[in-house]
Structure 1
Amino acid sequence: MERRHITFIFLAASLLLTFNLLSNMNKPEEKPDDAREEIVEVDTDANGPKDGKPGDGNDVPAEEDKVTYDRQFATLGSVNPEDGYRMLVTLDSKGASVHRVELSNPNYQSYEHDDDGGYLGQLAFDETDGHGVKINVIGPGTPAAQAIAKTEGAANGLKVGDTIVSVNDQPISDIKSFQEAMRGTKPRGEIEVTVERPSATEGEEPEKIVFTAALRKHPIEVIKPDVSTITGANGLPQEYVHPPAYLTTLAQVGSLTAREGAAQYKSLAEIKGLPSLIHGNWKTTQVSENEVHFEMTLFPSDLKQLGDNRKLRLVKKFKLTKVTEEMTDAEGFHIDYDLELHNESEESLSVAYKQLGPTGLPLEGWWYAHKISHGFGTAGIRDVTWESEDGSDYRLFTVYDLVEQAQKEGADPQTPLYNLDTNVKTKYAGVDAQYFNSSLLLDHENSSNSIDLAEATAAPIAPIDESYEPKTDCTFTLQSRAYPIGGGQTVNQKFRIFAGPKKTDVLQHYGLGKVEYYGWFSPVSSILLVVLHGLYSVLGSYGLAIIVLTLMVRGAMHPISRKQAKNMQIQQALAPEIKRISDQYKDDPEGRLKAQQELFKKHNFNPVGGCLMMFIQLPIFLGLYRALAVDFQLRQAPLIPGLAWCSNLAAPDQLLYWANWMPEFLSRPTGFPSLGPYLNILPLVTVSLFLVQQKLFMPPPQDEQQAMQQRIMTIMMIFMGVMFFKVPSGLCIYFITSSIWGIVERKLLPKPKNIPVVVEAKKEEIKQPKVRQAKKKK
């Protein structure tokens, strides 16, 4: 080959390589299939489009006018119950997701934020290079929205776009310094906030405005952005921000399908080559104070792989119902959610959507609380629930099982919610916490050309929690079948998002009654709870109501428990005689049994009577135990109003925080023999009374073997005390009251008559044949 040809080829190759390099510099970096898909909470310039206003709701732009929207937030409802809403919902244009749901009822306050100081509002900050934090959303009814301006001429209330530069004269440089400043505040206290507000005139310096804000206690957040601390590739801890709630993406468009392995979690896998519906910002339209629309359009250039002039528009509509006088207290805990798929092509287009569930449900009580599972064992902190449309099938998938499957199989295993080969339709799927629940209810009747589900699964949506596995965030994914949408046609799938407390009347109203479970003796628990709530309405204290209810139950069971105590008393008195008979007839089982039966018959003693009485009482006592462990009303109900100790009957009494000076293996939140981070008094009183009962009721040991058995029982009782140390204080009050009743009941029983005399006579009867037998042997 001639040298000039070689030179030409070399130059052409060099030019081609340079062109490729320049082209790749303008392309976003593609992640490998196994790369971590992290959802950051706040983007740069997250305050909305360039003009700072939401979308105007006009027609979707033509392809030549294609726009990229900045991230922005929108709100529905209010956190102030006087505004007529049960909740404040914050929506995020990124993924058209539910960013946060806060309940407005002041009785549903959060104690996960007890160390965070007072509540100003969740403001979705951006940092500003060391000069304050920029506000991206102001929730109606929050102290931030109601702040009073001290600067003359300024309007009340903080605004989106304001930058907080100081709190109580403490400079704010970033989010961390803001959090530290707020930790020094108290609920129901007042703070002074200084902000810089951009000037309306371009080029002028920002206006500095001073506000005073009356703080409150943090409301409960049924849904919130959540963060896990994981071990990074370099072995150092790093943060992983969980995906937000109720994301929607496409599983299929025409012949294009979501490629598994393109994201760390199968639920987040999207169709390669299309704009991301999960990570992208949707067009936002605030229709009214209680309705927001999000839109995302896939243009012909996005769908060119399917042919010419393909166009698909997705719309997500969220609407919050305002509470009216006609509505009951059980209503208003839902968001109406419509998913619309508009085929704006001239030809039919086959489409399947993928709808994710909630994330970030409350972790309150994670170190002591245990939900009751259907069947054996306990449920976890964030479990997935599912029920069929006809109510014939209900299932609960515990976080324990989902985590175990993930550890066993790896690579994001998905657990089917039901058998798709059947004709079963889904009524709802949800995520269930200890006292709160968020579920997606499907409205099959009112949906226009709704699409049936092709798959419904549950799985962890975040890395397995390294500190405590049951804290792992789990959710569900509903995937529709591919549905052919005609040219110019629309498919509308209606949902209802429930996010509220697990109160009986609320759950029943939304058809979620099976979520509340009291165990095998649910009817007994339900009856006892009706009585408990009736007593509370009269006494005004759940602590007193529990004591009175326990006394009522023990009083009703007195004839049975008195007979049981009397039976045990006789057994204790006859113990020496039973021992002598056993020694006398140790080589004669038939004779020993006959002698014991004669003794029992003479003194009207039934050796199995105590067990029988116990089985009769078991449903009542277990039903009461379960009722007190599950009932939502005990959450944050104080034993003595106004006293910090035992201020939550659903939690341990928490007299003293001792984690700072107790050994770590004893004070850590979980694990054996951990007692938790607090010193609790009521469990110690409970176990002490158990030991007293054991001492009073058990017959004295007649030999070394019995003495050893009783020592083992005492050790087991102490061991039970360790397990009992983190039991909710409401249950401790029940056990303490019941134990005192049992001790008093036993002490007031008259001693069995004639037993000592009879026993002595019996001793002689037994001794005589023993002597005669000895003489015959000689």
Structure 2
Amino acid sequence: MGACKRFAENARKTGHLVAFYAFLWPQFRFRVPNITFDRQNTSKSTPPYRIAQHVERRLLSWVIASTAFLFIYIALNGMFGPPRPADLPADGPDGQGGDAVAAVDPDVPPAEDAADPDAADSEGDGDEPPRPSEASWQTLGSFDPESGYRMLVYLNSRGAGIERIELTERKDNGRLKYRRVDVLGGYAGYMALQNLPDQDGAVVHVIGPGTPVALAKSLQDGTADGLQPGDIITAMQDLPVVDYQSYEAALTEFKPDTKVTLSVERGSQTLQFEVTLTEHPLDLIRLSSRGGEDEIVGNLDRLSCLLTLSAVGKRELKETDRELPSLPTQHNEIWDVVDQPADIGAAQTASYRLPVSRQALRRMEAGAVDLIHRYTLQPESYLVEMEVGVENKSDEAQQLGYRLEGPNGITLEGWWYSNKISPNFGGAGARDVIYRTQSDGHVLWGTYPLIKEARDKTSGPAKLLFAPQDSEASRQLSYIGVDAQYFTVAYIPDGEQPFDQYKRAAATLVADVSALPKHKERAANTSFFLDSQTAEVAPGETLMHKVQMFAGPKQKELMAAHGLSDAIYYGWFSMIAKPLQELLHVLKKYVVQNYAVAIVLLTLMVRMLMFPLGRRAAVHAQKMQELAPELKKIGEKYKDDMEGRLKAQRELQQRAGFNPLSGCLPMFIQLPIFIGLYRCLSVDIELRQAALSPSLQWCSNLAAPDMLAYWGDWMWEYFSGRGTGWLGPYFNILPIVVMGLFLLQQKMFMPPATDEQTAMTQKVMSFMTIFMGFLFFRVPSGLCIYFITSSLWGIAERKLVKKTLPPKGEGDLALATSAGAADTSRNGDSGGSKSLGDRIRDRISNEPPPALPPAKRKRPNLKKKK
């Protein structure tokens, strides 16, 4: 049934394409001369088929046929290609394949502690420390703008990893400096909501300091303000909350700064709280299943910065394994919370310790060890300071080591429309692994090569970056991280010296590649891991290392201060993009206070500097219109002589002082500026979240399409899908305006067609303009503003320049055309008997006829003779 539905859907799409081309084809009126061959009468010669007259038509036929073939191929590939993998449940996949790592789903509480398979044997053992039965959440930082923190970090004791990082830095007006640009609804705060198995509602597990739910006003006397862990949310206003998915859906119905009432069950009481919603902060790190519209089937939920043993006793972790096989998993184990975060306003620290199973270690002939993971966050900082290590709790020295995983679940904002620039020919994904070593320099491993490597292997990491057998310079690591378009999360050393304590690094996929849709591979979840050098640790001593994790925007000064400048990459046009970026910043800061207006001013400055070239282009356009009749005569005269026709055309153009390529000069000069501005919009963090106007909800991000209206819920998936559609899930008005202005310019300034072939060419140009409008439907709105301003300037410039030009029929052009006519009348069909100098001297000896006034001039008859 699924194959039949897929066939019917694609057949419908293909039918629309065929109907479109069936409508379009007759509009071009192809006319091919009738060529017959009479076997009975061979004395009557068949008129020759003149290829030169129809080469333009054949080119047009090839363009249309190729485009139709491309569309039909895509549709047929959907019909007969392999079926899409079945959608996985929202809580994550039931299993994992290939290189997929173990999924961690904090939304579903485990039925029992998934730790030690030999727990029954260890019961009653005096040296086996007791373990916590339930996970807990801790926070570092605050959402409060007065706290001084730039981020809010959510930690989970199950695995002692980072579950979520929100950027909370504010602008001068109190608004979030970095918010979710794809979320228009309000935000109440992250609460790690979980569904309940036996009743409706979503249970709260954590309340972030300074979040709207932490400041919620109680509507009952005698009840403290703010929600608490353990509360069960049952309704928002009049909307019921049966699970956390319905809670997220209810939030989309309310805008920021709206006050909503939450109904909460606390024990046997039913309470109500008034919550003032805010903008949604940028969740720089999040679980894949909490991505909203950006949730990608196949990406797995996994905490970031997980720690595990890589060496103990005689056992050492292989690069193909995630954890030591003989030990219970440390990733899903509940760690002991040693230190709770301090008060808001000072450096906050959260410490975790995990005593590894003593029974399992004894079976491995190893002594007792504890894993230690400590996080510290300073105010006014984008750094999460980490201390990771292994403590030897036995009575003898041991060979110990650890594996530290990197961040994953980095923000996916705009992955379906953005154009991330890559130094590699293979292109970049939405999240790529970057690193720098002393021998290799800055290296980017894109998502697509990682997926290819993962599919080619049966086990192990997607890509090994360096190994113990490599040279020392190859293991001198300056940084390693996951890079998005405007943000980076990377490990950097604590000091100026590079890392030297790691012997192995590898890039990995936190995804099930077998379930990852082909058209969404760009959004695959990527990460990495580091294996420490194995060292001998004395009894009671600890193998401890410090690592700093930068999690912030790709702002030039900020990245340079942390040694991450190479992560900002402009590509081949950096020499143009960087000065344009600085000029835009100056205009915005000192002149207009708005990047959209700054782009308009930049465009006007460029066009004003190009005004002499624009005037020359207008002059040549008028000359082209006046030369059109003469060129037509030359074409008719030299129908069978291509060389003679080209020579006559060159002579006419030389006499008129006309260069056919000079009109293209303004376009070639604007092309680098256009590409440089495109690179600015794709790289510069300051242009992200810059609005056309603060009062407008649409066009609120110049680095993205304007998103006037959402049509993804009713438009065909073929056109509106994220990653699959040609147009995207939003209707954008600015590309339509750009396309309309281009067509208007063609209609206003294109010279009238002198024959059927010219008319055909003009129709092709109009068709290609419409087609380009579809291709550029998802370009950044800032680029559309540049095109609109440039087009309006061009129209005004041509109108103004036209008034300053000499009337038609006067000057050198009239002399050239009349000289050509006189030469033709004197020389007949053999008009090439005199040299160019002789013909000019003959014309100079005779006075030119007086020019007719414009009212008495006759336009060429364009009607076809019947």
Would you call these one fold, judging by a TM-score over 0.5? yes
Q: Give the letter for the 1:459 counterpart.
A: L
1:661 shift after superposition: 4.0
Check 1:606–1:375 CA distance in 2 against 1; reply closer, same or farther (3 A cut): farther
Check 1:361–1:592 CA distance in 2 against 1; reply closer, same or farther (3 A cut): same
Matches within 5 A, 1:135-534: 135-168=204-237, 172-198=241-267, 206-227=268-289, 241-258=300-317, 269-289=322-342, 290-298=348-356, 300-307=358-365, 310-323=367-380, 332-374=381-423, 376=425, 378-388=427-437, 393-407=441-455, 409=457, 414-417=462-465, 421-422=470-471, 423-424=473-474, 425-443=476-494, 451-463=501-513, 465-466=516-517, 468-534=520-586
Check 1:505–1:584 CA distance in 2 against 1; reply closer, same or farther (3 A cut): same
Write the deviation string for residues 311-346 of structure 1: whole angstroms up to 9, x where unpaired.
2222111111112xxxxxxxx112111212223334
Write the deviation string for residues 526-561 of structure 1: whole angstroms up to 9, x where unpaired.
222222122223323222121111111222233344
How well do the aligned residues superpose, as a CA RMSD in angstroms?
A: 3.6
Matches within 5 A, 1:47-86: 63-86=127-150
Check 1:587–1:281 CA distance in 2 against 1; reply closer, same or farther (3 A cut): same
Match of 1:626 in 2: 679
Q: Give the letter for the 1:356 counterpart.
A: E
Check 1:480–1:566 CA distance in 2 against 1; reply closer, same or farther (3 A cut): farther
Match of 2:767 in 1: 715
Between 1:286-295 and 1:82-91, the stretch displaced more is 286-295
Matched, 1:758 2:828: no
Match of 1:57 in 2: none
SS at match of 1:769: helix
1:214 shift after superposition: 1.5
Q: Give the letter for the 1:145 counterpart.
A: A
Check 1:228–1:715 CA distance in 2 against 1; reply closer, same or farther (3 A cut): farther
SS at match of 1:301: helix
Matched, 1:99 2:158: no
The answer (yes or no) to whether the contact 2:159–2:335 under 8 Å persists in 1 is: yes
1:226 shift after superposition: 1.0
1:443 shift after superposition: 3.4
The answer (yes or no) to whether the contact 1:126–1:135 under 8 Å persists in 2 is: no
Question: 1 CA distance for matches of 2:602 and 2:800?
Answer: 22
The answer (yes or no) to whether the contact 1:163–1:195 under 8 Å persists in 2 is: yes
Equivalent residue for 2:199, pick from 117, 123, 130: 130
Unaligned residue ranges in structure 2 (runs of 5+): 1-94, 114-124, 170-175, 343-347, 834-866
Between 1:169-178 and 1:106-115, the stretch displaced more is 169-178
Check 1:34–1:657 CA distance in 2 against 1; reply closer, same or farther (3 A cut): closer
Question: 2 CA distance for matches of 1:172 and 1:247?
Answer: 33
SS at match of 1:63: coil
1:129 shift after superposition: 2.1
SS at match of 2:206: coil
Question: 1 CA distance for matches of 2:133 and 2:495?
Answer: 33
Question: 2 CA distance for matches of 1:616 and 1:238?
Answer: 45
Identity %: 39
Matched positions, count? 701
SS at match of 1:211: strand
Unaligned residue ranges in structure 1 (runs of 5+): 1-29, 49-60, 199-205, 230-236, 261-265, 324-331
Question: 2 CA distance for matches of 1:747 and 1:31?
Answer: 65
Match of 1:327 in 2: none
Check 1:616–1:46 CA distance in 2 against 1; reply closer, same or farther (3 A cut): farther
1:163 shift after superposition: 2.9
Match of 1:234 in 2: none
Q: Give the letter for the 1:38 counterpart.
A: A
- The TM-score, its normalising length taken from structure 2, stands at 0.73
1:571 shift after superposition: 4.2
Check 1:272–1:458 CA distance in 2 against 1; reply closer, same or farther (3 A cut): closer
1:576 shift after superposition: 4.0
- The TM-score, its normalising length taken from structure 1, stands at 0.81
Match of 1:20 in 2: none
The answer (yes or no) to whether the contact 1:77–1:85 under 8 Å persists in 2 is: yes
SS at match of 2:272: strand
Match of 1:556 in 2: 609
The answer (yes or no) to whether the contact 1:130–1:174 under 8 Å persists in 2 is: no
1:300 shift after superposition: 4.3
Check 1:337–1:686 CA distance in 2 against 1; reply closer, same or farther (3 A cut): same
Check 1:645–1:479 CA distance in 2 against 1; reply closer, same or farther (3 A cut): same
Between 1:151-160 and 1:239-248, the stretch displaced more is 239-248
Check 1:244–1:300 CA distance in 2 against 1; reply closer, same or farther (3 A cut): closer
Match of 1:39 in 2: 104
Question: 1 CA distance for matches of 2:826 and 2:550?
Answer: 81
Match of 2:28 in 1: none
Q: Give the letter for the 2:797 counterpart.
A: E
Question: 2 CA distance for matches of 1:566 and 1:482?
Answer: 77
Q: Give the letter for the 1:645 counterpart.
A: W
Check 1:252–1:581 CA distance in 2 against 1; reply closer, same or farther (3 A cut): farther
Write the deviation string for residues 732-755 of structure 1: whole angstroms up to 9, x where unpaired.
001111122223223333446532
Match of 1:3 in 2: none
Check 1:378–1:507 CA distance in 2 against 1; reply closer, same or farther (3 A cut): same
The answer (yes or no) to whether the contact 1:371–1:381 under 8 Å persists in 2 is: yes
Match of 2:700 in 1: 647
Question: 2 CA distance for matches of 1:254 and 1:444?
Answer: 31
The answer (yes or no) to whether the contact 1:190–1:214 under 8 Å persists in 2 is: yes
Q: Give the letter for the 1:195 counterpart.
A: V
Question: 2 CA distance for matches of 1:33 and 1:656?
Answer: 40
The answer (yes or no) to whether the contact 1:124–1:135 under 8 Å persists in 2 is: yes
Check 1:148–1:767 CA distance in 2 against 1; reply closer, same or farther (3 A cut): same
Write the deviation string for residues 714-771 of structure 1: whole angstroms up to 9, x where unpaired.
3222221111111121110011111222232233334465324531331332354344
Question: 2 CA distance for matches of 1:684 and 1:739?
Answer: 13
Write the deviation string for residues 1-52 of structure 1: whole angstroms up to 9, x where unpaired.
xxxxxxxxxxxxxxxxxxxxxxxxxxxxx9999998332123538999xxxx
Question: 1 CA distance for matches of 2:713 and 2:646?
Answer: 60
Matches within 5 A, 1:522-671: 522-537=574-589, 538-581=591-634, 584=637, 592=645, 594-610=647-663, 614-671=667-724
Question: 2 CA distance for matches of 1:658 and 1:174?
Answer: 26
